[in-house]
Structure formats: C-alpha cells, structure tokens
Amino acid sequence: MDDLHVNADLENEQDFDEGTEEPQQVVSKKLVSIEKKDKDKEKDKGTKKRKRRKDVVTFCAIDCKYEVIFDAVREMGWKIVGKNADNDGGKAVGNGELPMCHIHWVDVANIHERMRIMQPWQRINHFPGMPNIARKARLAQNLEKMRKNFPKEYAFYPRTWVLPADFQDFRTQFDSNGKSYKNNIFIVKPDAGCQGRGIYLTQDLEKISSMDSLVAQQYIRKPLLIDDFKFDLRLYVLVTSVKPLRIYMFNDGLVRLCTEEYVRPTSENLGDRCMHLTNYAINKNNENFQANEDADDAGVGSKRSLRWFMEWLAEEQGEEKAEKLWRRMGSLSTKVIISILPQLSREYDAQFKTPAWANKNKQAQQQQQQQQQQ
C-alpha cells in the first residue's frame, strides 16, 4: 500500500508550476516519512512489550508459610518465584540463593537477615522495630512509659509489671505471707510464649519465679460475656508507612470464645484454663469446642467474626455504644503504634536509609568525575 500511495503522489506531482518543489524531492520526503513511521511503529511495539514485562509483579514465596497468602497472590495475578518447601516454613535458604523479586514475603524468624539485602524498589511485609510491641515485655514497657506521661490516654489496659525488673514493686501487691491483698488475681505470661503456653492465674507470690522473663497483669474479674463465655477480639491493623505514620484497620477480625462458661473466679477454679483463657490452641481440644462449618454464618461456634460481634453489640447495647467501641478500638491501635514510633523511625533509618557519610562520599566522587571531564 505504501508503494501504490507513493506512485499515485508522483503522478499528481508532475504538473507542479515552476517554483514549486521538484517531484523527486517530494518522493524522497514521502519515502523518508514512511520509513520514519515504520521505525516509530517498531519502537512503539518494543515499548509496549517492555511495559508489559514491567507490569508483572514478582512474589518471592521461599519464606511464605500460609496457603491463604498464595491464594491472594494468584488472585492479584502476580508471578510466584522461588519455591515453598513442605517443611512448615521452608528450608533454610541463604540470601545469595534468593530470586530477584518485587515483593518478599517472610513468615519465618530470619526477618532482619532478609531486610539487609532489600533494594529500594523491593517491598517486604515487615517493618524493623515491630518486635517492640510483638514481644509482651517490650509492649508492656513501652505502654508504661506512655502512661506515665499520658495517664488518661493510656488507661485502656490493666496494671502491668515486667518481671524480674519490676519484681520489687510487684511484691508490694502481696502481704507478708505472699498472699495477694483484697484477693486480687494476677495473670502471668512468659515474655516469649505463644498459643497459651505457660500462662497461669495466681494469688500466691511464691508461684511466680523472680528469675524468669514474665509479664504479670491484674486479672479482670468481670469481663463482657457472649452466651456466658469469656472472649477476646483479634484486630487486624496494617502499617504502610512510618514517616509519615499511616495506619489502616481492617473492618473485620476474629472473636475467640472460651469453651467453659465463665463464673466468678476463686482459688478453686483458677486452674480452669478453658474458662479463663481464650487461646484457640487451648480450647480446640475441649469437648465443648464448636467449629463453624458454614462460612455464611459468622455468629456460630467458638470462633466468630468481628463484624458479627459489632452487630451483636449494637443489638444488645445499642448502635451508639457499638460505634463508640469501634472508634475506641481504632484509637487504641493507633496509641499502641505511637508508643514505639521513635524506635520504628530510628530502626527504619538504620536499616534502609543511606548514611550521611555515604552520601558525602558519593557527592565527592561525582565532583571528581566532573572535574576530570572538564
């Protein structure tokens, strides 16, 4: 078609008056224009191909443990690279063996090892410094610091002691025989424990080790109950930025219920873990545990949804109280993150930010190169 188009133009151009461009010049310009268009088309094709390649997000799955994450990745259309071993978390893989990727998901303990090799364009699902609230003792220490300065704003949790550091102050809660004043009950948790392991309730000082790393709190005797069962809430909060601080709270979560009906705590029933502790790992083996087998009914069983809980609360105590509780939960989550914000900023800079001396060296090298070129 281009050749026919040129020949037709050539015939039409034969009758030019004097002073106009010669037919040969016109043909040459037409040919140049056609060649330019062809090159532009080829360039556009290459650009489109390159853009398509860049649009593919790669997801490193070597350190990913949970199938729900893989389902979400596939739904997003991302490309999974690396392989997920079948030994509950993947085999030990050195940094040098990791594939290049846009997103590195880590569900294992070597988070900081992975952070050290992250490039500025890569993303990882952790912030350095989060152990300051992930570990019970650090969380308690940071909250206590804030409560000393802002007692009203940080009055949302019971009195807490980090042992053995606070053991002398904790000792004042007991009489000379080691019995708690006013029959107060304390719940004691190991700092590094999980799934309810090592948690117990006591009124006796002698049952609490003065050497182990523990967190002790005053036990709440009259909790809110659902169907006569004690429960807790699991909220999901996403931090996407530290500077500036940006937090999102998911509008759903979990409600975990005990499997034994709650009664007034006494020295005789303090050992009834399925009445006092809401941990799934503790209650799942109780004969009263109810599994929810209907995904459309979130208000049945020993595990329920947060959305169901908010609807239940609105019915039981009114919309106004339910909305107030939701706002307070969001405020609580923000205050917890704020309690460690200085550490988060400091550790983020230490992990990812280029130090000032490195920037100065880079600037000096650039100046030397410019001087040499001149």
Q: Which residues lie closer than 8 Å to 324 by C-beta, 6 or more apart? A: none
- Which pLDDT score is estimated for 295? 75
Residue 47 burial by CB count (10 A; 0-12/13-18/19+): exposed, middle or buried?
A: exposed
**CA dihedral angle for residue 33, residue 38, residue 41, residue 46, rounded to 10 degrees:** -130
What is the tens place of the pLDDT at every residue in 182-234?
999 999 999 988 888 899 999 999 999 888 999 999 999 999 999 999 999 99
Q: E strands within the chain?
A: 58-60, 79-81, 103-104, 123-124, 160-163, 186-190, 200-202, 214-218, 225-226, 229-234, 237-241, 246-249, 254-257, 303-305
Residue 182 burial by CB count (10 A; 0-12/13-18/19+): exposed, middle or buried?
A: exposed
pTM across the whole model: 0.74
- Which pLDDT score is estimated for 151? 96
What is the tens place of the pLDDT at every residue in 26-64?
445 555 555 555 556 665 555 555 545 557 899 998 889
* Helices and strands of the chain, counted as H and E runs: 13, 14
- Which pLDDT score is estimated for 334? 96
Residue type at 190?
P
Q: Is the sign of the CA dihedral 221, 325, 339, 139 positive or negative? A: positive
Low-confidence ranges of the chain (pLDDT < 50): 1-21, 23-24, 26-27, 51, 85-91
- Which pLDDT score is estimated for 299? 82
Residue of 208, 209, 188 whose CA lies nearest to 200:
188
